[in-house]
Structure 1
Amino acid sequence: MVVLTFESYIELLYRSNKILISSHQNDPLILDRVTLNRYGDLPLHIASMLGHTNFVKEILNRKPQLAMEPDSQRRLPLHIASTKGHVELVRALLSASTEACLACDCDGNNPLHLAAIKGRSDVVKELVQARPHAARAIVQQETILHLCVNHNQPEILKFLIETTGDDEFVSFKDSQGNNILHLAVVYRQTETINFLLLSTTIQVNEENSSGETPMDILGQGPKDLKYQQILQSLTRAGAVEAKIGNLFRQDPQSSRNEIGVDGLDDYNKRQASPFYLKETSKNSDDWLDKKRNTLMVVASLIATMAFQAGSNPPGGVWQEGSREDPNIKAGYAIMATIHPLEYQIFLVCNTVGFVSSLSIILLLISGLPFLKHRFFMWILMVIMWIAATSMSATYSIFIWLLSPKAESNTFRNVVICIVLVWIGLMTLLVVGHIIRLIAIAMRILRRLLFPKKRPILRPTIRNQDGM
């Protein structure tokens, strides 16, 4: 009689079935001995993991009860084969015993749960056909439908609902009170959401343990493209937000003080919710980021134009000097000699625009914390308007000096008038904006000096007659 150790027996997994048959003939108790001596990695489990279907069939032909032998994690060979997706091997194990479909490992999962998590659709169909009741097993207060949503397996979810689902099964809630529609909205699974809304009777306004409907959960996430798609689907299905938000809209003639104590508590919780505050802060940050990016681009363009105009003034520079006139030297601006007054105005306007745009650029790249407030962002915008107005005045001087007076006097006057009108409008905007900043500052100062207490919203207690 040949006695094999467990290690030498595992090597048989990689050899032909004839060796197994020969070894079993020499030692009929070899399968029982290996199972008795080891509780960890059993031969049938290893063969199921590697997908050796013929080897598994040979073992099951001799010892079909080994299909129900667990390992140290309480997993049966069917658990492993289902996880790996070996369909033929799953059929062989089911032929030995369909009871294995209901066996749970140390985590409470049966083979059907593991196959659904891994997306083994063919294995799921085999297991459901063998034991449909395995799909209704509860794992840590979650059904297999919850597992499908948590692991984004929409096809298996559809199959399970169409074959084994009913209203109670589909609407089952987990430990947090979430049904599968709540979870699908959390994970932004548009395909699953549309299927649940169109093909099931799940309640679209069902509340979880926190009193939140799917519409409430959707509003707590980012407002991206998926948000718009899911919002449209939920709205068509009649979804609404939190119950306190609906009380304000259901009866336009009712007053807010008729809500009740519970409604006020929910309303206060929602206003103090970190998601509500985070969303408000996010909108403000997005507005500031857009303003900062716009100011940076415009300021860079104005600084470039001002530098170019300063280094290359209208009319160019003298190429050679003159002994008779000391103001005529190589590199001096021609405009400074011929039109000294206009040149001074040109330099003032161009310098104001250049310095203003550089100031904006330096402030934006400095990263100072006070620039994240709207008040200081408005100040930067005022500086930008001053820079733009200065460049407009510089442009007017260009047109005045470079256009011949005799031939194009009318055209020159029209252009200058247009620029002056535009400068006037910009001046009105600057003045109006300064007035607005002063008003905001006065309002903030008044709130600091004379704080106003908010009125407490008190519920109206109704008697039994509804009065």
Structure 2
Amino acid sequence: MAAELYDAILKGDVTRFREVVQQDPYLVESASFACSRNVVHIAALRGQASIVEEVLNINPQLARDLDSQQSSPLHIAVAKGSLEIVKKLLSVAPEACWWRDCHDMNPIHIAAMKGHDEVLKVLLEESHMPAMERLHRGQTVLHLCVKHGQLDALKVLVVELGEFVFAVDDDGETLSHLAVRSNQLEILRYLGASNKIRRGKRNSMGKTALKILIQSRPPAWPAPSYWEMWRILRGFSVLSFLPNMSDVVMVVAILIATMAFQNTVTPPGGVWQDDTPSHKAGEAVIAYTHPDIYKDLVFYNNMAFYLSFSAIFIIISGLTSRFPSISYAVGSAMWLSIMFIIFSYKSSIKVISPNTFDTPLIGYYIHIAAIIAVMLVVTREFFRFSVVIMRQRDV
């Protein structure tokens, strides 16, 4: 009878299962198979949700039995990724989420390691607390995801566990340390994009994740993944010295755009107030008195306005967070718009103070030197970034 019961479970034959149980009502409870598993263990192992439901209706206590590996039916169902069976077992034995098998892992640990993200979501709905349980050497369930390259499961846990993502193990290593050691580029890319990397964090050996990456560089020319990891961990940016680049650039861009707009609609020298054969009311006076300077002034104001407006649009669109290389374009646009607004200021001074530049002034030369220095810095930063990109393409 036990063999017939086992065969019915393997085939998922509910009708035959019921017939066998009717012949021997105590067989469901007394039957024991390999590794001390009961009928629920076997049904979960084979993914037979209908059989699991039948057994639980007869005796829900069987969901709490452990096999020789200290695994409950929930452990097995989670390992197999059987979402329907997991839900049925949780309804009668939710406490099994806390139980650990012979490998010291609870069902949430197993779901994360196997990458069963939908099962993981169901388990977390029951309770977040088992996910906080530590593994060998203090590793968290998030470390387990990184170690086994389970990005989808990691995304679920990062959303659900919040600041727990920054937890370190007994060696003081964060997720980024382990991602570098395991060569998990996709995971490191996700951590960087979601701002879950503490770049200055050192492990018990005093090493940051970037230091580990540099020391592990192969003797031959590194693969593209090495350079991308380096960029993510370095946090490389033209304006990386700013605590919050987007907010600061947004304020500066709005200010420059406002200045350029104001200088265009209210040019130095004002506008004509009346119509005459030579001009019309509302036209800029300097367009007639200083036509060359006026053309330069309009050009400078237009460039400053459009560059600032472009930077504002890119920041609002969120492209700088998704594509870090775009931050270089935004930073360069801001530097150029600043220089154009300086040129606009100089042209305005020529109109309202025509004798200012008759004799060389030290301030004028300092101004030119500062512009050249800024351009050199921007060019150098672009060159450094281009070198990294070219190395990736050449490999």
Q: Report the TM-score, using the length of structure 2 for normalisation.
A: 0.55
- The one-letter amino acid of 2:234's match is T
Query: In 1, distance between residues paired with 2:30 and 2:42?
Result: 17
Quick one: distance in 2 between partners of 1:194 and 1:237?
A: 14
Q: Distance in 2 between matches of 1:30 and 1:233?
A: 59
Q: 1:122 aligns with which of 113, 118, 125?
A: 118
Q: Which ranges of structure 1 fall in alignment gaps of 5 or more residues?
A: 239-467
- 2:92 matched residue in structure 1: 96
Letter in 2 for 1:41: R
Change over 3 Å in CA distance of 1:157–1:233 after alignment to 2: same
Task: Return the offset for 1:125.
Answer: 1.3
Confirm or deny that 1:65 pairs with 2:70.
Answer: no
2:181 match: 186
Amino acid at match of 1:233: I
Q: In the alignment, is the contact (CA less than 8 A) between 2:12 and 2:50 conserved in 1? A: no
Counterpart of 2:148 in structure 1: which amino acid?
H
Q: 1:56 aligns with which of 37, 52, 62?
A: 52
After TM superposition, give the deviation of residue 134 of structure 1 in Å. Answer: 2.0
Deviation at 1:16, TM superposition (A): 2.3
Aligned length: 231
Residues 331-410 of structure 1: pairs in structure 2 closer than 5 A: none
Q: Is this contact kept in 2: 1:204–1:237, CA < 8 A?
A: no
TM superposition outliers: structure 1 runs of 4+ over 6 Å: none
CA shift for structure 1 position 33? 1.7
Within the candidate set 154, 159, 162, 1:162 is matched to 159
Shift of 1:88: 1.2
The separation in 1 between residues aligned to 2:72 and 2:150, in whole angstroms, is 24
Hey, what does 1:10 align to over in structure 2? 6
> CA deviation digits over 1:12-66, x for unaligned, max 9?
212622233233333322222225x986132211111111110110001111111
Partner residue, 1:226: 225
Specify the alignment match of 1:216 in structure 2: 211
**Backbone CA RMSD of aligned residues:** 2.1
Partner SS for 2:36: coil
- Within-5 A mapping of 1:77-116: 77-116=73-112
> Aligned partner of 2:49: which letter?
T
Following superposition, the deviation at residue 96 of structure 1 comes to: 1.8
State the SS of the aligned residue for 1:152.
Answer: coil
- Change in Cα spacing, 1:15 to 1:119, as seen in structure 2 (3 Å) is closer
1:199 corresponds in structure 2 to 194
Matches within 5 A, 1:432-443: none
C-alpha contact 1:83 1:118 (8 A) present in aligned 2: yes
2: CA distance between counterparts of 1:143 and 1:41? Answer: 29
Cα pair 2:38 2:62 within 8 Å, conserved: no
Q: 1:197, 1:204 within 8 Å by CA — same for their partners in 2? A: no
| Residue 20 of structure 1 pairs with residue 10 of structure 2 | no
Mind listing any 5+ residue stretches in structure 2 that lack a counterpart? Answer: 238-395
CA distance in structure 2 between the aligned counterparts of 1:59 and 1:68, rounded to whole angstroms? 12
Q: Structure 2: which amino acid aligns with 1:151?
A: H
Aligned to 2:247: none
Query: Of residues 130, 134, 144 in structure 2, which corresponds to 1:134?
Result: 130
Cα distance in 1 for residues equivalent to 2:147 and 2:121? 20
SS in 2 for 1:195: helix
CA distance in 2 between counterparts of 1:88 and 1:15 reads 15
Distance 1:75 1:95 in 2: 18
1:272-304 CA deviation, whole Å, 9 max, x = no partner?
Answer: xxxxxxxxxxxxxxxxxxxxxxxxxxxxxxxxx
2:166 corresponds to which letter in structure 1? S
* Match in the other structure for 1:172: 167
Check conservation: 1:170, 1:202, Cα contact below 8 A.
no
Q: How far is 1:83 from its partner?
A: 0.9
- Indicate yes or no: 2:163 matched with 1:144: no
1:429 matched to which residue of 2? none
**Secondary structure of 1:10's partner?**
helix
Does the CA-based 8 Å contact 1:197-1:237 persist in structure 2?
no
Correspondence 1:74 to 2:73: no
Specify the SS of the correspondent of 1:206.
coil
1:204, 1:159 → 2: CA distance?
23
- The CA distance in 1 between the partners of 2:38 and 2:194, in whole Å, is 44
In the alignment, the residues of structure 2 paired with residue 78 and residue 212 of structure 1 have an alpha-carbon distance, to the nearest angstrom, of 40
Query: 2 CA distance for matches of 1:201 and 1:92?
Result: 35
Residues 1:30 and 2:27 aligned together: yes
Deviation at 1:176, TM superposition (A): 2.4
CA distance in 1, matches of 2:80, 2:35: 21
Question: Could you say what secondary structure the match of 1:165 adopts?
Answer: helix
CA deviation vs aligned residue, 1:236-268 (integer Å, no higher than 9, x gap): 269xxxxxxxxxxxxxxxxxxxxxxxxxxxxxx
Native 8 Å contact 1:185 1:214 kept in 2: yes
Q: Which amino acid aligns with 1:79?
A: H
- 2:199–2:234 contact (8 Å) kept in structure 1: no
Aligned AA (2:224): L
Percentage identity across paired residues of the two chains: 35
CA distance in structure 1 between the partners assigned to 2:194 and 2:84 by the alignment: 32
SS state at 1:104 partner: coil
Distance 2:96 2:52 in 1: 15
* Contact 1:81/1:89 (8 A) holds in 2: yes
Distance 1:21 1:8, change over 3 A: closer
